[in-house]
Structure 1
């Protein structure tokens, strides 16, 4: 399983990070459509795309507008857009609306609530999901399983214990970490996570590797915080960086 980190920042882009977007190029699976979505077309290894949204905040959906031209040019021939009912309604009503952007690409909109079980099979890849309640408006966590490998993507949530079994034993966990320990008092207030609590989560759930994403864009470097101390909590921790790729 190959995973490309296209955008690893939160709220707005800065000089080193675009906002959230992670691509499995061989599977044609994309998680979130932040400002990094312009990077999808040249890295996608097929003509169809399965795009899973975590929630409808602008830094996770604005890139949907960037897919209009690739679809017109048939660089991407079909896009299935998955999200809960609340998210898809927000996309239709607020993103693709007069007078801001009236031309919605030819998405096939698929509500997560339409599935009997919270999962969908895409070729050899099983995608599962779970609601995350602690972010304003909520969010959705995703897991991909393929050939005995497990990848988990969790963003825009406070670490509240509700999804530990869902991500347990993941080979790779990409988890939001908007705040440092020094600014941790803002985490629960805003429905985000901070450094040590994410490391402790990874340790408790026996994941093999942890990549931190959705970093506060005021942190304008690739290594915004010193990880030396937190590596005593969980050693296999790094910052996700734009345009990195990972092979499981």
Structure 2
């Protein structure tokens, strides 16, 4: 069986800088896009499928503004179908405000799909489930179960958990749902010195993320939604954890 890859197209939180665009991650094998920040402009050359499923964690601008780039993206690399998934309230806000005629007066060729009524879906062969997260305005985390290239029906599915814009799970049910992933992609918007600001703004700091990872025991931890002005130091704090830890950067490809 071959490995799968996550491509980090945008890894910043809230605002970009010279080296980081805002949140967007792509799994080419299954055509799944995690959030649609400004980093989505890097998508066309990576598309391998005839469809795209864009999963929105919430509707804050750093996670949705890249939807307006889809006209050029799909001109460069046409696909048969693009589906945008999220909570109904968040999808309505994006359609009403981001695509208001006074802001962006052109329809984009996508269909909009609410996740509210079901805990899990099939995304063209990829299983998707979600959980509520604690964040101003609300957000959701996603768990994906993906068949590896060359696998058979009896082979285990690859497990990816994407948890961004969250204070961090503390309840046993959510931590159990997150556990045992091949790859845990977890936001780390603040360093430990700024724990107070993390809690005020509904985000995580490094020690909180490491505590969650220690509880959920992923095969690999990728820190995402990085504040460009934060200084994260994982070398001195991760020696006791039995899995590799990496800080996401734009252009990084993570195999799992």
Q: Same fold (TM over 0.5)?
A: yes
Partner in structure 2 of residue 238 of structure 1:
246
Residues 173 and 87 of structure 1: CA distance in aligned 2, closer, same or farther (over 3 Å): same
Aligned counterpart in structure 1 of residue 73 of structure 2, from 57, 60, 70:
70
Tell me by how many angstroms 1:187 deviates. 1.3
Matched, 1:201 2:208: no
TM-score between the two structures when normalised by the length of structure 2: 0.89
Does the 8 Å contact 1:184/1:194 carry over to 2? yes
Residues 29 and 45 of structure 1: CA distance in aligned 2, closer, same or farther (over 3 Å): same
Alpha-carbon distance in 2 for matches of 1:103, 1:77: 19
Residues 74 and 39 of structure 1: CA distance in aligned 2, closer, same or farther (over 3 Å): closer
Partner in structure 1 of residue 234 of structure 2:
227
Does the 8 Å contact 2:184/2:220 carry over to 1? yes
Alpha-carbon distance in 2 for matches of 1:75, 1:247: 26
Matched, 1:171 2:179: no
Alpha-carbon distance in 2 for matches of 1:73, 1:179: 36
Alpha-carbon distance in 2 for matches of 1:73, 1:241: 24
Q: How does 1:23-62 map to 2 (within 5 A)?
A: 23-62=26-65
Partner in structure 2 of residue 150 of structure 1:
159
Tell me by how many angstroms 1:233 deviates. 4.7
TM-score between the two structures when normalised by the length of structure 1: 0.92
Aligned counterpart in structure 2 of residue 159 of structure 1, from 154, 168, 171:
168
Alpha-carbon distance in 2 for matches of 1:97, 1:104: 10
Tell me by how many angstroms 1:98 deviates. 2.2
Tell me by how many angstroms 1:73 deviates. 6.0
Aligned length: 241
Does the 8 Å contact 1:5/1:240 carry over to 2? yes
Does the 8 Å contact 2:44/2:76 carry over to 1? no
Aligned-residue Cα RMSD (Å) equals 1.6
3-state SS of paired residue (2:64): helix
Does the 8 Å contact 1:199/1:237 carry over to 2? no
Q: How does 1:109-188 map to 2 (within 5 A)?
A: 109-115=112-118, 118-132=119-133, 134-147=134-147, 148=156, 149-162=158-171, 163-188=174-199
Gaps (5+ residues) in structure 2?
148-155
Partner in structure 1 of residue 255 of structure 2:
247
Gaps (5+ residues) in structure 1?
none
Tell me by how many angstroms 1:47 deviates. 2.7
**CA displacement 1:87-126 (0-9 Å, x = unmatched):** 10111111001211011202111000243xx111134321
Does the 8 Å contact 1:71/1:78 carry over to 2? no
Partner in structure 2 of residue 95 of structure 1:
98
Q: Which runs of 4+ in 1 moved over 3 A?
A: 70-74
Tell me by how many angstroms 1:165 deviates. 1.3
